[in-house]
Amino acid sequence: MNPLVSVCIPCYNAAPYIGEAIESILAQSWPLIEIIVVNDGSSDASGAILDSYASSRLLVVHQDNRGQCAAANRALEVAQGDLIKFFDADDLLSPMSIEAQVQRLNGSTHAVASAQWGRFYSNDLSTFKLTQQAVWRDLPSLDWLTEAWTNAQPMMQCGLWLIPRPILERCGGWDESLTLINDFEFFSRALCHASEVLFTPEATLYYRSGITGSLSGQKSRKAMESAFHSLLKGTGHLLKRRSDPVVRLSCANVLQQFIFEVYPDHPDLRQVIQQRVDELGGSNLPIPGGPRFHLLRRLAGWKAAKRLQKLAGRA
């Protein structure tokens, strides 16, 4: 069996990076690949760059700006592949990744393939470093979610996954009401409609970090509301499938991390999340921070330390 793989790439103002992302897909060893890039109303040179790559293997769709999720859904509508990989316009993929993931799936329509990953900063691949994770092994999909969320630092990024089309048909598309950490909700839902996650160590995602203006760096009220809804929806997907104490604690820790991250801002969102954490039985997540923060925390408590930290940042 030689399945067609569709790589779906939403693109918005990614002119400095989109060419490299496309080249990393074109360089894949798996021969049966189509690339669908949706230019989501970019105001920079992205559209022209994409048009220069248009070919029988790469389809460019131009649309008015509707958001990343709408662009991903549009790409999926156009895709013809048996297997789907969503991919960000600023990341890179090792050349054997798709072939290795196709082989790992071996025709399954119930499993998804995952990959190893590491960060690099700006355009400097010498900064790339693999980040070892406990979930870098084969796991039932619900166990993968539970373990990935336990320390509240899950990596759910698009390029990690190769997903059989039937799973996406069962779980539905991207939630277009979400912006920040929309991948958390989507891939939580997708994995809840899969049977297992097959780890593929031969596949490596190079995750570009430190980009000014990136979605992951947004702190606006709209972005925080999206994170709030994504976390509640994503944990809700898992809790509908399993609600044992281990799962409840894992979900509570993911939600508790939101409280730590946004405090002292957005008290209305924090109140709702805190209520949900309490309903789940509480969290055992330690508050993150560096040595100075923890010194302040020991002296004044974590809430006062967060306030002082925020004031120092503004100053």
Q: What is the pLDDT of residues 272-291, one digit of tens each?
A: 999 999 999 999 999 999 99
Residue 268 lies in a domain: no
Residue 62 confidence class, pLDDT cut points 50, 70, 90: very high
Domain boundary among 213, 248, 273: 213
| Range 87-107 average pLDDT | 97
Q: What is the pLDDT of residues 242-273, one digit of tens each?
A: 999 999 999 999 999 999 999 999 999 999 99
pTM for this entry: 0.94
Whether residues 165 and 309 share a domain: the answer is no
Whether residues 131 and 37 share a domain: the answer is yes
Whether 218 has a pLDDT exceeding 70, the answer reads: no
pLDDT at 1: 74
User: Distance of CA 249 to CAs 180, 181, 236, Å?
Assistant: 23, 21, 13
Whether residues 204 and 298 share a domain: the answer is no
Give the range of the structural domain holding residue 115, as residue numbers without chain letter. Answer: 5-213
Residue 44 lies in a domain: yes
- What CATH number did the domain enclosing 182 receive? 3.90.550.10
Whether residues 187 and 42 share a domain: the answer is yes
Domain count, the chain: 2
| Range 187-211 average pLDDT | 95
Whether 160 has a pLDDT exceeding 90, the answer reads: yes
**pLDDT mean across residues, the chain:** 95
Whether residues 17 and 164 share a domain: the answer is yes
Domain boundary among 191, 213, 235: 213
Domain boundary among 186, 213, 240: 213
